[in-house]
Amino acid sequence: MQGTAYGDEQLAMAMRKELRERLLEAQNEGRPLRVYCGFDPRTSDLHLGHTVPMRKLRQFQELGHEVVFLIGNFTSLIGDPSDKDKLRPQLTPEEVEENARTYAEQAFKILDPEKTIIEYNAKWLSKLTFADLIKLASNFTVQQFLTRENFRKRWDKGEPVYLHETFYAIMQGYDAYALRADVQIGGTDQLFNIVTAARKLMTFMGVKPNIAIILDILPGTDGEVKMSKSLGNHIPLLSTPEDMYGKLMSVPDKAMGAYMRLLTRWTPRQIAELETGIAQGRLNPRDVKMQLAREIVEIYHGEDAAARAEEHFVRVFQQRDIPDEIPEYCLQEGETVLQVLRNANLVSSNSEGRRLIQQKAVRLDGEVLSDPRAAFPGPGVLRVGKRKFVRVSNCSATRE
> Does residue number 366 form part of the binding site for RNA (CB under 7 A)?
no
DSSP 78: T
Shortest distance in whole angstroms from residue 364 CB to RNA: 13
Cα 340 to Cα 134: distance, rounded to the nearest angstrom = 63
> Is residue 323 part of the contact set for RNA (CB under 7 A)?
no
Q: Dihedral (C-alpha) 202, 207, 209, 211: value to the nearest 10 degrees? A: -130
351 touches RNA (CB under 7 A): yes
Of residues 91-150, those binding RNA (CB under 7 A): none
Q: Does 189 bind RNA (CB under 7 A)?
A: no
- By CB under 7 A, residue 89 contacts RNA: no
282 binds RNA (CB under 7 A): no
Q: Does 285 bind RNA (CB under 7 A)?
A: yes
Q: What is the largest CA-CA distance in the chain?
A: 81
- Answer for the pair 8, 267: CB distance below 8 angstroms, yes or no: no
User: 242: closest CA among 311, 290, 302?
Assistant: 311
Least CB distance to RNA at residue 349 (A):
3
Determine the interface stretch with RNA among 50-58, 109-117, 182-190, 246-254 (rule: CB under 7 A).
Answer: 246-254
| 239 is an interface residue for RNA by CB under 7 A | no
Report if residue 371 touches RNA, rule: CB under 7 A. Answer: no
Q: Taking CB under 7 A as the rule, does residue 315 contact RNA?
A: no
To the nearest whole angstrom, how small is the minimum distance from the Cβ of residue 302 to RNA? Answer: 19
Where does the chain have alpha helices with state H?
9-29, 48-62, 93-107, 122-125, 130-137, 142-146, 149-156, 163-179, 191, 199-204, 241-249, 256-263, 268-279, 285-301, 303-313, 337-343, 350-358, 395-399
Using rule CB under 7 A, residue 85 touches RNA:
no
User: Quick one: 6 or 313, whose CB is closer to RNA?
Assistant: 313
Instruction: Find residue 60's DSSP bridge partners.
Output: none
Residues in touch with RNA (CB under 7 A): 155, 158-162, 221-224, 232-233, 242-243, 245-247, 249-254, 284-286, 289, 313, 317-318, 348-352, 354-356, 359-361, 384-388
